[in-house]
Amino acid sequence: MSLSNRSVIGVCGAGAMGAGIAQVAAQAGHSVLVLDRDADALERGRDALATGAAALVKRGKLDAAQSEALRRRVRWTLEAEDLADAELTIEAIVEDTGVKARLFRRLESITREDAVLATNTSSLSVTELATDLTRPARFLGLHFFNPAPVMKLVEVVSGAATDAGVAADAKALMASWGKIAVFARDVPGFIVNRVRSATTY
Each residue of 131-141: b (16+ CB within 10 Å) or e?
eebebbbbbbb
- Residues, the chain: 201
Contact 141, 164 (CB under 8 A): no
Peptide bond into 188 cis (omega under 30): no
Of the residues 73, 143, 171, 179, only one is catalytic, namely 143
Give just the sign of the alpha carbon dihedral 86, 87, 93, 97. Answer: positive
In this structure, the number of other CB atoms found within 10 A of the CB of residue 6 comes to: 9
Q: What Rg, from alpha-carbon coordinates, does the chain have?
A: 16
> What is the bridge-based pairing of β-strands 88-91 and 116-119?
parallel
Task: Indicate if 143 belongs to the active site.
Answer: yes
**Residue positions annotated with a catalytic role:** 143
